[in-house]
Amino acid sequence: MKRDVLPRLLGLFLLLFLLSCIFDPADKVLSLKVYIFLVCWVVTLAICLSSRTQISVPRGLLIYTLLFILVPFYSIVWYWLSDGSDRFEGFSMLKGYVLITLAMMLGLSRTDLLPRLCAVLTLLALAVIGVFIALLLRPELFSVLYLVGQRTDMVFVGNRVYTSDVMLMQVYFVTSPMLAIAIAYYFDRARSASSRRDAMRFWALVFINALGMLLAGTRNNILVSLLLPAVLIFYYARNKALGAIVSIFGVAALMAVFARQLGAFFDPAEASNRTKLAMFDDYQRILGDPVNLFFGRGLGAYDFWVGRGDKFVTELTYLEMVRNFGLIGALVMLGLLLFPIWHVFATDQPRSTKAIAIGFMSYLGMCASNPNLFSSMGILILSVILNATFRPGRREMTLAGSELAAPYAARGIILRNS
């Protein structure tokens, strides 16, 4: 068997896994996500066993992965010791946390998944744009797409009413917040392009992904699709003062043009805002119990929410971390989420990696008011960033047929010796 067969096979299955995560996030269409992930691991281990060079897992990544899984696992054990009722979703939610092992898989196989991730996200952006145009031209398609979205939990179409005078059509693919990563990636590629032709091509990809994010229609998507490019313009500016002026002027102009919409987005009386604000009283009641505050209720535990009934997850992700894991566990998880960002800016990382970290920061900001962080979406992004964080000598990385000659890390848990 040729040495490049297994890496190419892994590249194929990783592509299938990306397509599954992005276009079938609820795993209701084909229900293959878990099986594809397991096949990816089998092929990765085969690559390790067939390699003629030493392959190892960095200790830091191993510790990170164990902590990321042990905190939610501890919370499940705590739930069964303190409550133990049958109405519990912890084990189904734990699958999302186990997905963090993707970072180890990428490291062991020397795979840079970021280019292919952004390519698939561009397909997602084109799907948003295509559906939006189709609904404008053929409104009768709305009922069909609405039914598809209800059955697959993949896309939600409709007119989002914020206030009596602000109503926006949205084509909300649930994975559309991930487009922030593609915007940052292609922005960096455009700024570092070696030719004008390449630069124009990457700028076009930035525009496509930003437009797809904008047309998705949620306030988070709209704000990030406009603000993230402004932040990147400032970051990449050689003259920071000039970059700041351009960015501030651009943001101010957008705020002036869309003042009415912005007012509606942040109106406390708006239905979604009102519901989220009401949750603070419920969180105060739940976390007012010192046991819940310090030890948590447990991942997947149900609680009663005024106006919403019994729920095991809410949209306020960071308060939800405290409810699930307790104050100490939540701080550990928050530290794990912020560590890659800190590491990128505290060490001598390439500008391209820092751009992705900025995109990830915007994704973390969006997750403050939606439950996407610990789903396959958020963990997929985190795994890709972790792979860059713990990977020394970032050069010479390709997705399929990658060079396996250089050891992955000088220190780590050795899986195979030459």
Mean pLDDT in the chain?
86
Give, as one character, the DSSP assignment of residue 301. B
Provide the pLDDT for residue 3: 65
Contact 99, 383 (CB under 8 A): yes
pLDDT at 211: 95
The answer to which of 128-132, 385-389, 393-397 has the lowest mean pLDDT is 393-397
Domain boundaries, the chain: 5-111+268-416, 116-265
Question: In 10 A of CB 299, how many CB atoms?
Answer: 31
pTM of the entire structure?
0.89
DSSP code of 284? H
Q: Of 3-12, 39-48, 125-134, which range is least confident?
A: 3-12
Tens digit of each residue's pLDDT (9 = 90 or more) over 332-377: 999 999 999 999 998 878 888 899 999 999 999 999 988 888 888 8
Task: Give the bridge partners for 56, in sequence order.
Answer: 414
Length of the chain: 418
Cα–Cα–Cα angle for 238, 244, 245, rounded to 5 degrees: 110
> Which range among 10-14, 156-160, 309-313 has the greatest average pLDDT?
10-14
- Specify whether the CB–CB gap between 64 and 339 falls below 8 A: yes
State residue 398's pLDDT score: 36
pLDDT at 414 over 60: no
Cα 103 from Cα 248, distance rounded (Å): 36
